[in-house]
Amino acid sequence: MSQQPEEEFEDDELELFERHRILVDKGQSQVRIDKFLTEKIAHVTRNKVQQAIENDTVLVNGKPVKSNYKIKPLDDIQVFMDKPRRDTEVIPEDIPLDIVFEDKSLLIVNKPPGMVVHPAQGNWNGTLANALVYHFQHLPEMKGNEGRPGLVHRIDKDTSGLLVIAKSEEAMTPLAAQFFHHTIDRTYLALVWGELEGDSGTIRGNVGRSAKDRKVMDVFPDGSQGKHAVTHWKVIKRLRYVTLIQCNLETGRTHQIRAHMKYIGHPLFNDAMYGGDKIRKGTQFAKYKAFVQNCFDLMPRQALHAKSLGFIHPITKEKLYFEAILPEDFSAVLGRWENYVNFE
């Protein structure tokens, strides 16, 4: 049996349902579907499964079924469940914010690496959202995503760079629509392992959650799973065993750049989740190994920075564009590699 869980929020599309897809094994015995799903889906009760069935949001081979339906080998089961209710209270915390731009409708914030965007399991405080509710009153929240004041998109904890925050209801919906329709211009800088062929390229391949590790996203080039994802890249600087590239997102899937770059054999430098925290290119000399480890120590995270944002102001309709310089850790590692290339 294979299962494709998709319950995590996408970076740019805040969703209201948990989604699961289960392809039943050839040798599976016939059992009631409510019992089967209760055993196969983590942290779900039989009552919740039965409620989803009553709501016609459990489909077998594309059609709703009843709780007493007995699954058959090779059945294709899709499940859509309401997201579990969570504590939506966000405690204000006096955390400094690097505000690049502000008016009555929105903020542009430069998020430091290491800061989680919103509270979630294991990270209930110290987040960007905790800082926002301290510094700003009455930030809007999208329906179904309470506890995420002002947020219409996010970036990973260890990714640095720019985020747009809505300060009013009037601004939130148009901003969210621009992300949904992929009309936001977003540019990232990434340091990746290896020397890419050519000076630019495009990666196309659905991105979806790995069946082996729920925290990791895989690429499905045949489109059988995941969601449509397109990343455009171009080389900024070649540094012998690593390359600084610019990435422009046509879509905004969770871990899109990280998964796409691993897929083409060039994982992000020091990206532990996607295999970039090991030496992927270079020599076996102890001096080189020590140099790379020193770089890892300087930047103990994936080398990814959300450099720029361009969009239409939701109220004035003016075209806006913002940039954020590389944070100190990323800049320091680039400097080390430049010195290595020039003098080693």
| Tally of CA atoms within 13 A in the half-sphere of 218 that contains its CB | 16
Say how many C-beta atoms besides its own lie within 10 A of residue 167's C-beta. 21
Say how many C-beta atoms besides its own lie within 10 A of residue 320's C-beta. 16
Structure tokens of 213? 């590790």
What does residue 295 show for φ and ψ, rounded to 5 degrees? -65, -40
**Residue of 11, 12, 75, 156 marked active site:** 156
10 to 71, 143, 227: CA distances (angstroms)? 31, 16, 10
Q: Is 158 a catalytic residue?
A: no
Q: How far apart are CA 309 and CA 203, in angstroms?
A: 21
Contact of 207 with 254, CB cutoff 8 Å: yes
DSSP SS3 for 39: helix
Q: How far apart are CA 19 and CA 88, in angstroms?
A: 21
The DSSP bridge partners found for residue 209 are 217
Q: State the residue for tokens 């590692």.
A: 333
The CA-CA-CA angle for residues 103, 107, 110, to 5°, reads 140
Enzyme catalytic residues: 156
